[in-house]
Chain A
Amino acid sequence: MTKKPKVFLFVPYLLWLALFVIIPLFLILYQSFFDIHGQFTFGNIVEYFTSGTYLSMTLSSFFYAFLITLVTLVISYPAAYLLTRLKRKQLWMLLLILPTWINVLLKAYAFIGIFSQSGSVNDFLAFIGVGRQQILFTDASFLLVATYIEIPFMLLPIYNAIEEIHPSYVSASRDLGASQWETFRRVIFPLSLSGVRSGVQAVFIPSLSLFMLTRLIAGNRVITLGTAIEQHFLVTQNWGMGSTIGVVLIIIMVLIMLLTGERKKGAAK
Chain B
Amino acid sequence: MMEKRSFKWANLYLVFVFLLLYAPIAYLIYYSFNAGGTMNSFTGFTWEHYQAVFEDTRLIRIALDTLKLALSSALAATIIGTFGAIGIYYVKKRRTRNTLLSFNNILLVSPDVIIGASLLILFTMVGFQLGFTSVFLAHIAFSIPIVVLMVLPRLQEMNDSMVTAARDLGANSFQVLSRIILPSITPGILAGYFMAFTYSLDDFAVTFFVTGGGFSTLSVEIYSRARQGVSLEINALSTILFLFALGLVVGYYFIQQGLEKNKRKRTAVKDPTNHEKAVSPR
Contacts and interface: CB of A to CB of B under 8 A. Distances in A.
Given A12-B80, A16-B84, A113-B28, A5 B204 contact: no
Given A101-B249, A103-B219, A215-B227, A246 B80 contact: no
Interface string A85-113: 11000001011101101111111111111
A99 B141 contact: no
Interface residues of A, number: 81
- B interface residue count range (under 10 / 10 to 19 / 20 to 34 / 35 or more): 35 or more
A13 B144 contact: yes
Contacts, number: 234
A212 B204 contact: yes
A4 B202 CA distance: 37
B202 A20 contact: no
Contact of A205 (B25, B109, B198, B201): B109
Contacts of B165: none
B245 A102 contact: yes
A104 B80 contact: no
Contacts of A249: 111, 113-114
Contacts of A85: 7, 10
B33 interface: no
Contacts of B259: none
B121 A24 contact: yes
A110 B173 contact: no
Contact of B86 (A10, A98, A101, A110): A10
Contacts of B202: 101, 103-104
Interface stretch (A45-53, A115-123, A167-175): A115-123
A243 B117 contact: yes
Given A96-B17, A212-B204, A110 B121 contact: no
A239 B230 CA distance: 33
Contacts of A225: 113
A257 to B, nearest CB: 7
Interface in A48-86: 75, 78-79, 82-83, 85-86
Given A105-B204, A257-B109, 6 more contacts: A20-B107, A20-B122, A27-B122, A101-B249, A113-B31, A249-B111
Interface of A: 2-7, 9-10, 12-14, 16-17, 19-25, 27-28, 31, 75, 78-79, 82-83, 85-86, 92, 94-96, 98-99, 101-114, 116, 118-120, 123, 148, 151-152, 201, 205-206, 208-209, 211-212, 215-216, 225-226, 229-230, 233-234, 239, 242-243, 246, 249-250, 253, 257
Interface pairs A-B: 3 shortest CB-CB: A13-B84, A113-B39, A10-B87
